[in-house]
Structure 1
Amino acid sequence: MFRITKEFHFSASHRLTTLPADHQCGRLHGHNYVVEVELSAATLNSHGFVRDYHELAPLKSYIDESFDHRHLNEVLGHDQVTAECLAKHFYDWCKDRLPETSAVRVSETPKTWAEYRP
């Protein structure tokens, strides 16, 4: 199996409203997010690629226009916008457009990652 990945970055705020008031994530706060998309294929296309990285440009546009410097609770319309939820959201968005999508990872901090992989 061949695998490729590409990273995307954005900054945004969120709040996890079901946590206790004294929990740091229960307060309004922000992160510098990293989204890593993985695409997989058993064979390469006629150009020797799983997929040309340039074909991921629509994801960059989607992130830049809809997520960067936004409040994620408003963007996604729910109270629990976790890294896990974002990974699933971006996976679904990518899978609809790029059938080779095999996983998405989201980082809120340099030491933490959440991944969605069916």
Structure 2
Amino acid sequence: MYRITKEFHFSASHQLRALPLEHQCARLHGHNYIVEVELSAPELNEHGFVRDYQELAALKHYIDDSFDHRHLNEVLAHDQVTAECLAKHFYDWCKARLPETSAVRVSETTKTWAEYRP
């Protein structure tokens, strides 16, 4: 199986409102997010690619236009916008446009990652 990944960055705020008030993540806060999309294929296309990286530009535009410097609870109309939820959201968005999508990882900090992989 061939696999490629590409990384995207954005900054945004969120609040995990279902947590107890004393939990730090219940307060309004922000992160410098990293989204890593993985595409997989058993065979390469006629150009020797799983998919041309330039074809992932639509994801960059989607992230820049809809997520960067926004409040994620409003963007996704959800009280629990966790890294796990974001990974699933971006996976679904990518899979609908790029059938080779096999996983999406989201990082909120340099030491933490959440992944959605069916």
Specify the TM-score bucket, using the shorter chain as the normaliser: over 0.9
Tell me the TM-score normalized by structure 2: 1.00
1:88: which partner in 2? 88
Distance in 2, matches of 1:114 and 1:78, equals 18
1:47-97 CA distance string (max 9 Å, x none) = 000000000000000000000000000000010000000000000000000
Instruction: Output aligned runs, 1:1-118, within 5 Å.
Output: 1-118=1-118
Q: How far has the Cα of 1:22 moved from its partner?
A: 1.0
Q: Which amino acid aligns with 2:117?
A: R
Distance in 1, matches of 2:75 and 2:18, equals 18
Q: Percent identity, aligned pairs only?
A: 85
Distance in 1, matches of 2:78 and 2:40, equals 31
Runs (4+) off by over 4 Å: none
Distance in 2, matches of 1:84 and 1:54, equals 26
Distance in 2, matches of 1:110 and 1:64, equals 21
Q: Which amino acid aligns with 1:16?
A: L
Distance in 1, matches of 2:78 and 2:100, equals 28
Helix, strand or coil: the match of 1:95?
helix
CA RMSD in angstroms comes to 0.2
Helix, strand or coil: the match of 1:56?
helix
Structure 2: gaps (5+ residues): none
Distance in 1, matches of 2:78 and 2:91, equals 18
